[in-house]
Chain A
Amino acid sequence: MKRRDFIKRVGSLAGAASLSIGGMPLRAFAKPFFNITANLGKILVVVQLKGGNDGHNTVIPIEDSLYYNKRPTLSIPKNDAVKLDNLTGLHPMLQPFKEFYDNGMLSIIQNVGYENPVRSHFRSTDIWLSGSDANEYLSDGWVGRYLANTFPDFPNTSSPQPMAIQIGSVQSLLLESQHGGMGVTIEDPNTFYQLVQGSEADNDPPPATLAGEELRYLKQVAARSLLYADVIKEKADAGKNLIAYPNTGLGNQLSIIAGLINGGLNTPVYLATLKGFDTHANQLSRHETLLSNLATAVAAFQKDLGLAGLEDRVVVLTISEFGRRLRENASDGTDHGTAAPMFLIGKNVAGGIVGDNPDLTKLDRRGDISHTYDFRQIYASILSQHFQTEDAAIQQILPGEFATLPLINNNPNSVGGSEMPKTFALNQNYPNPFNAATLIPYSISRSGNVQLNLYDIKGRMVRRLVDRRHTPGQYTVQLDASELASGIYFYRIVSGEFYEQRRMTLVK
């Protein structure tokens, strides 16, 4: 290692040494972790399809003869496909998704990829998880950056509940941030709880060496498991699944996640994984099994959330490192390709197909389609419309101006969803009176900057709740008043010439 690199490392260690356990104070959250509610109770479940899912056989261009010509043995016959519209069908194993589609609970985004696509599993997976350009190397994940942005008190203060949970055993880049791992990796809540029994934290500061840096990492992992084993077990015990899940890997993962959500864990991001999509050979039967596993597990998950009345809060997103080549190979399989469709599923998604079927007349030199949407547009849309992350923050999480697509209806209380309001409105907060947390709905009819501030009875501003550019739509902002005193407060919205004020009562 170079001297200057080493000095740099030592510098970063010295900074961390003042924190108690490698930057993970164990009981520092005596005061409420203010920002845990910053995501409005919304939850994102990412399902990673590892190996490169074949988009052409997932969302099928049923009228495209080029598709059938290039795939004499692997194509899905038009009559077998689950027809969505005149041009497009789903793989027969995705039959359960048809119901979502008909109910406006499934958005299919066509041809998602990025400039200069990389066909390496590992590099392209890193690109998708980190949200980087093809030639950019990032050591954190886009979700990790979102969480670091949403919970700025971390790592000085730890969230009382995990910021992210990954079902599995190897921590994903998706949840890495500049502060280290933001997530907890568990196989299931009970196993996790039992494993952690008997562990204890230690406060011995690691030495400022390269080996000491690894030791610090180990201590952080240990501290994280200690910190969250109890609450995960408690919420899992409190929660339940209201229907049976298919006994598959993904079915089990999603049933755990639904149980935790049902039990009241307010962790905003979950990661589940389905492996095996690298179908270079014998694709037909393998892909059938994989898509069947995906569809049955996600269908059970949605039904479960629906029965529990939790479906307003959750969206499921599928990601995969690339699609596959249009032309089949000699092994009854397909080689690595480029862009592919993505699924976004949930009660509040806008629904429908975004974009056209891939243009199979315009293939690149390798015989692959080009992308219509950059994958980060989908991420940015989720941040903006689901988590209601402000534009400035999205800029930091996903640098480079990614235009959002209308994927999620962002007011959970609106009926019909996509209808644009005709006037500005500031509605009464609910509940009111309230203890600690309340929601304030408002409508914006013209694009522009919106400010929504909270004032105490003497007219002093006590909180800036909203200050960002809005596009027309219905919005809700949550107020966490756990650090404010009981009493009457006013909230005021200002946008252009529009102005309105209401009052609320905090009773503790």
Chain B
Amino acid sequence: MSVVKSLARIPNWDRPAVRHVLSRTLFGYNREDIDFALNLSMDEFIDNYLLADASPPDSPGDWVLQPPKNTTGQENRANLKELTYWWYELMRAQGFSLREKMTLFWHNHFTSDFSTVKFPQLLYMQNALFRANAFGNLIDLTKAVTIDSAMLIYLDGQTSTARKPNENYARELMELFTMGIGNYTETDIAEAARALTGWQIKGRFPIFEASRFDSGEKTFLGEVGAFNHEDIVDIIFRQDATAEWFCKKLYIGFVYHEPDAGFISELAQLLRESQYELKPVLSALLKSEYFHAEEIRGAKIKSPTDLLISPLRQLSQADPVYLKIRNLSIPLQQELFQPPDVRGWVGQRNWMSTTTYPRRNQFTDVLIDNKVYTKEKIDIVAIAKAYSGSENPSQFISEVVEVMINFQLSESRINFLLQALLDGSAEYDWSTDDPQAESRLRGFFKTLMRLPEYQLS
């Protein structure tokens, strides 16, 4: 077991390295995707594909331009669903980009929810902000979020006034968004709340109302001045704790759920050196020996969104029924635009309870057997035939496992899968043209996706 802890580059861009990067950065991948990435150099793939800037996607509809007051509650609920379906499709069809996973990361970091915000057009704007700044500058993003319309509603900024400042955003800005508890005092919260006053929403956009702003002198994190919201964010980014906090969140999001302070410090140092530009940090992280260490491969429990979207790409399904997928995301505990609270989804083991785990198994069963989550029943035989090893059971299984399982399977597991595929027949009798092949293949894929290893990434 090699134990490394550094940002040093891995020497070999090989199949296992490619699979690990793909599984942590995309929503599903297939065999061609592995080959594509392997044919490029690591630098080329990570910097020119995963981290490439791209133009914004078309919006989900004209409704996103409607001023909030012009839409009814019923329209809002329907539009929220459209927004979710639109985002799912971006995830499914994103190609080789880290952008959608980062957009989800920011949604889970700078949280807002529909039941409080109530207007999906504002959540769309927030989502677009996250996408445009997916791997941009953290100071810019934090300033923009601070006066983002959805956020002004979600954490009560729009009702906070000089006379009676509301502490909600100020507290979460420091506790959850930038520094973490223990790096500021209750007085800092009260002072920041004063500096954040004055912002309201007009139509879809934030506007500054000077009469509501507390223009007086504030003492914040040891500095004194007549601060406004930009000053507050600038001061926050002068604290060492801030880079550590963002890197800790990135580490938990992309590497492993138990923070490692030593490695996070290395990342934070890099983030400060880059003036809070995220791209160099992500680039170094994804190429590092630490990220590629054997012992953390497969150690991440898939989020419900990952679980729901990634098989579409693994199984080449272009016609999903997002309505059903969204419905299921609710009991699986990741309804998009509806995080459980301001901390967002905790993730990892929190995804898995005695209720959600059996539900995940039920999803993969139904996906393989019925047309519920896809418009047409999955043509499992055609999917199998696309594998070069389709007529050789052992080779077939190892090829499928390479795409669908991110965990080193034991020999007994592989054998278990072989028995599931053959279903009593002999290995040399196997053919995808056999009339029994379809039911055997369905049984095999269901068994594979019911393995607890399938839940890992």
Judge: A and B partners, yes or no. Answer: yes
By a beta-carbon cutoff of 8 Å, the part of chain A in contact with chain B is 1-3, 6, 50-51, 118-123, 168-171, 184-187, 191-192, 195-196, 198-199, 202, 204, 207, 209-211, 213-215, 217-219, 221-222, 224-225, 228, 278, 280-281, 328-333, 335-336, 365-366
Nearest residue (CB) in B for A332 is B159
Knowing A1-B5, A187-B355 are in contact, say whether A281-B365 is a contact too (CB < 8 A).
no
Knowing A1-B295, A280-B168, A329-B166 are in contact, say whether A218-B161 is a contact too (CB < 8 A).
no
* A438 CB to nearest B CB, Å: 34
Given contacts A211-B298, A213-B299, A215-B407, 5 further A-B contacts (CB under 8 A): A199-B358, A211-B456, A222-B357, A330-B166, A336-B171
Give per-residue flags for B350-377: 1 if the beta carbon is below 8 A from chain A beta carbons, else 0.
1011111111011001000000000000
* A201 CB to nearest B CB, Å: 11
Q: How far is the CA of A330 from the CA of B193 in the complex (A)?
A: 12
Evaluate contact between A281 and B3: CB separation under 8 angstroms: no
Evaluate contact between B341 and A121: CB separation under 8 angstroms: yes
How many residues of chain B get a CB closer than 8 Å to chain A's CBs? 63
Knowing A210-B299, A331-B156 are in contact, say whether A228-B354 is a contact too (CB < 8 A).
yes
Give per-residue flags for B322-360: 1 if the beta carbon is below 8 A from chain A beta carbons, else 0.
000000000101000000111100001110111111110
Q: Is B164 an interface residue (CB 8 A)?
A: yes
Nearest residue (CB) in B for A135 is B182
Evaluate contact between A170 and B408: CB separation under 8 angstroms: no
Evaluate contact between B455 and A120: CB separation under 8 angstroms: no
Q: Is B297 an interface residue (CB 8 A)?
A: yes
Q: How far is the CA of A120 from the CA of B294 in the complex (A)?
A: 37
Evaluate contact between B256 and A281: CB separation under 8 angstroms: no
Evaluate contact between A2 and B358: CB separation under 8 angstroms: no
Q: Is B306 an interface residue (CB 8 A)?
A: no
Knowing A195-B358, A366-B186 are in contact, say whether A211-B333 is a contact too (CB < 8 A).
no
Evaluate contact between A192 and B355: CB separation under 8 angstroms: yes
Q: List 18 A-B contacts (CB under 8 A).
A: A1-B3, A6-B1, A121-B343, A184-B354, A192-B355, A195-B359, A198-B365, A199-B450, A204-B410, A209-B1, A209-B295, A209-B299, A210-B299, A280-B156, A328-B164, A329-B167, A333-B156, A335-B167
Evaluate contact between A331 and B166: CB separation under 8 angstroms: yes
* A417 CB to nearest B CB, Å: 38
Nearest residue (CB) in B for A121 is B341
CB neighbours of B343 from chain A (8 A)? 121-122
Evaluate contact between B163 and A171: CB separation under 8 angstroms: no
* B301 CB to nearest A CB, Å: 6
Q: How far is the CA of A34 from the CA of B359 in the complex (A)?
A: 33
Interface residues in B148-178 by Cβ distance below 8 A to A read 155-156, 159-161, 163-168, 171, 175
Knowing A1-B295, A6-B3 are in contact, say whether A218-B355 is a contact too (CB < 8 A).
no
Q: Is B296 an interface residue (CB 8 A)?
A: yes
Q: Is B412 an interface residue (CB 8 A)?
A: yes
* A17 CB to nearest B CB, Å: 13
Q: How far is the CA of A211 from the CA of B300 in the complex (A)?
A: 7
Knowing A1-B5, A211-B407 are in contact, say whether A218-B452 is a contact too (CB < 8 A).
yes
Evaluate contact between A281 and B156: CB separation under 8 angstroms: yes
* A24 CB to nearest B CB, Å: 11
Among B156, B181, B301, B355, the residue within 8 A (CB) of A185 is: B355
Q: How far is the CA of A332 from the CA of B455 in the complex (A)?
A: 45
Evaluate contact between B301 and A221: CB separation under 8 angstroms: no
Nearest residue (CB) in B for A166 is B353
* A370 CB to nearest B CB, Å: 15
Q: Is B260 an interface residue (CB 8 A)?
A: yes
Evaluate contact between B452 and A215: CB separation under 8 angstroms: yes
Q: How far is the CA of A199 from the CA of B360 in the complex (A)?
A: 11
CB neighbours of A218 from chain B (8 A)? 301, 352, 357, 452, 455-456
Q: Is B435 an interface residue (CB 8 A)?
A: no
Nearest residue (CB) in B for A10 is B1
Evaluate contact between B349 and A196: CB separation under 8 angstroms: no
Q: How far is the CA of A123 from the CA of B174 in the complex (A)?
A: 14
CB neighbours of A213 from chain B (8 A)? 299
Q: How far is the CA of A199 from the CA of B357 in the complex (A)?
A: 10
Q: Is B453 an interface residue (CB 8 A)?
A: yes
Q: How far is the CA of A278 from the CA of B348 in the complex (A)?
A: 25
CB neighbours of B353 from chain A (8 A)? 168-171, 185, 221
Nearest residue (CB) in B for A224 is B354
CB neighbours of B202 from chain A (8 A)? none
Evaluate contact between B358 and A335: CB separation under 8 angstroms: no
Evaluate contact between B5 and A335: CB separation under 8 angstroms: no
Knowing A1-B5, A204-B413 are in contact, say whether A169-B352 is a contact too (CB < 8 A).
no
Evaluate contact between B296 and A211: CB separation under 8 angstroms: yes
Among A120, A191, A195, A210, the residue within 8 A (CB) of B181 is: A120
* B69 CB to nearest A CB, Å: 18
Nearest residue (CB) in A for B157 is A331
Give per-residue flags for B5-45: 1 if the beta carbon is below 8 A from chain A beta carbons, else 0.
10000000000000000000000000000000000000000
Q: How far is the CA of A185 from the CA of B355 in the complex (A)?
A: 6
Knowing A2-B5, A185-B353, A219-B452 are in contact, say whether A121-B342 is a contact too (CB < 8 A).
yes
